[in-house]
Amino acid sequence: MKELDLHGIKHENVRQLLDSFIWMHMQNKTGTIKIITGNSSEMTNIVKTVVEEYGFSVVYKLGNSAEIIVDLI
């Protein structure tokens, strides 16, 4: 599973970085990606918004709300 760790990334830069990450993995037909948001609710909301704009669902890793799993298929 490919992952993107957003620790240390400024909120205003997340949308563009995440958009590129999702698009690249959609093109490469990656099945599942993991996005590590940390404990920031604002970061989690940004990620959730972008993922849903692509039409995918957000699934929180069991026992760890700081990681989001997205199935790209």
Condensed to tens digits (0 to 9), the pLDDT of residues 1-47 reads 899 999 999 999 999 999 999 999 999 999 999 999 999 999 999 99
Identity at 72, one-letter amino acid code? L
Contacts 24+ apart (CB under 8 A), 49-54: 50/14, 50/15, 50/18, 50/19, 50/22, 51/18, 51/22, 54/22, 54/26
Rg value, the chain, Cα: 11
Identity at 61, one-letter amino acid code? K
Going by pLDDT thresholds of 50, 70 and 90, the confidence category of residue 68 is: very high
| pTM of this structure | 0.91
